[in-house]
């Protein structure tokens, strides 16, 4: 018998993820505050629920893909817990702060439920294509229950440790990404000013010790390296606003454990400047325009 998943939050990411659960034989009971999101889930084959509680009633597990910590906390403590059957498994795939993630898991476990935090790497294309990477925090038993469900939506499912460690892995990764992208952008801007052709510098640095994913998979210079958002006027890809959200979460987490993150802090300040220039919706590699004085 196929499992039924209550899926809450069917926006840019959740819509594609729910569709992949359906393609892999799961039944989905969908709820979103947005009629448009709900209609898309219905068209993909999900049952449209009237509320969070209605979605959860009769389901075997709950997956949430919501904007931020306050939504996750209020949906679980205010609605999911009251409607869930005993021992039910919850999977929160949203990107939220580590402290809230740990608090919600603790509250769930306190009521006899199992829960993982399972944020993703990969954007809307990976959500639609079922190629997300999930970084999972939770007990061994909760991870074992979550893995087949997550595998239906992604290409890699990695256990990062106890509750909150999925979120910790996600923000550490994205802080590293934010900083390496800025370093890549400022380096290409400087190389150009020094008279180096960007393609020539790419050919050298991509086989030298300056190599990074930000350069060889996602080069911020249009026309250099594999196809990336820079080739499409920095449309699509990973928005500046979302990178800024993750860097703010990283700053909060760093402060909570007194970690020194000077590069992460500088990255946050620079992405804030970029957002203030009206570029929050463009791909985060558009940073190079600001560093080239455009």
Residues 18-37 binding ligand NAD (CB under 6 A) are 31-34, 37
CB of 69 to ligand NAD, least distance (A): 9
CB of 264 to ligand NAD, least distance (A): 17
With beta carbons less than 8 A apart as the criterion, state whether 180 and 212 touch.
yes
The Cα 187–Cα 190 span in angstroms is 5
Give the residues across from 203 on adjacent strands: none
The Cα 6–Cα 49 span in angstroms is 9
- 59 near ligand NAD, rule: CB under 6 A: no
The Cα 242–Cα 83 span in angstroms is 32
Cα separation values, 181 from 72, 115, 116, 218, 221, Å: 30, 33, 30, 9, 11
CA angle 253, 257, 263 (to 5 degrees): 60
- 13 near ligand NAD, rule: CB under 6 A: yes
- 95 near ligand NAD, rule: CB under 6 A: yes
x/- letters, 216..245, toward ligand NAD (CB under 6 A) = ----------------------x---x--x
CB of 190 to ligand NAD, least distance (A): 29
CB of 238 to ligand NAD, least distance (A): 6
Reference 242, options 275, 290, 219; nearest CA is 275
Please state the φ and ψ torsions of residue 217, each to the nearest 5 degrees. -110, -15
Which residue of this chain has its Cβ atom nearest to ligand NAD in the complex? Answer: 11
Residues in the chain: 294
With beta carbons less than 8 A apart as the criterion, state whether 7 and 21 touch.
yes
* Binder among 44, 66, 191, 215 for ligand NAD (CB under 6 A): 66
Q: How many other C-beta atoms are found inside a 10 Å radius of the C-beta of residue 239? A: 23
CA angle 102, 163, 262 (to 5 degrees): 75
Residues 241-280 binding ligand NAD (CB under 6 A) are 242, 245
x/- letters, 122..151, toward ligand NAD (CB under 6 A) = -xx---------------------------
* Binder among 18, 61, 65, 288 for ligand NAD (CB under 6 A): 65
Q: Which is nearer to ligand NAD, 166 or 198 (CB)?
A: 166
Binding residues vs ligand NAD (CB under 6 A)? 8-14, 31-34, 37, 52, 65-67, 71, 75, 94-95, 120, 123-124, 238, 242, 245
């Amino acid at each position: 018998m196929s499992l039924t998943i209550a899926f809450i939050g069917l926006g840019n990411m959740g819509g594609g993820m729910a569709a992949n659960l359906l393609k892999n034989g799961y039944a989905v009971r969908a709820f979103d505050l947005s009629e448009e999101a709900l209609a898309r889930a219905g068209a993909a084959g999900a049952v449209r629920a009237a509320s969070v509680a209605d979605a959860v009633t009769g389901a075997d597990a709950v997956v949430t893909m919501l904007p931020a910590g306050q939504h996750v906390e209020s949906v679980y403590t205010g609605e999911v817990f009251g409607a869930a059957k005993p021992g039910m498994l919850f999977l929160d795939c949203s990107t939220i702060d580590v402290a809230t993630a740990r608090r919600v898991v603790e509250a769930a476990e306190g009521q006899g439920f199992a829960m993982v935090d399972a944020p993703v790497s990969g954007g809307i294309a990976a959500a639609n294509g079922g190629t997300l990477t999930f970084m999972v925090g939770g007990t061994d038993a909760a991870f074992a229950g979550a893995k087949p469900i997550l595998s239906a939506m992604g290409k890699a499912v990695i256990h990062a440790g106890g509750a909150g460690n999925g979120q910790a892995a996600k923000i550490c990764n994205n802080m590293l990404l934010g900083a390496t992208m800025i370093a890549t952008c400022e380096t290409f801007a400087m190389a150009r000013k020094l008279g180096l052709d960007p393609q020539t510098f790419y050919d050298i640095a991509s086989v030298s010790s300056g190599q990074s994913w930000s350069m060889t998979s996602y080069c911020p210079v249009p026309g250099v390296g594999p196809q990336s958002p820079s080739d499409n006027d920095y449309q699509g890809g990973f928005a500046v606003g979302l990178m800024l959200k993750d860097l703010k979460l990283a700053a909060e987490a760093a402060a909570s454990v007194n970690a020194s993150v000077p590069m992460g802090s500088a990255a946050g300040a620079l992405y804030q400047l970029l957002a203030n220039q009206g570029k929050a919706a463009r791909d985060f590699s558009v940073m190079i325009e600001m560093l080239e004085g455009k």
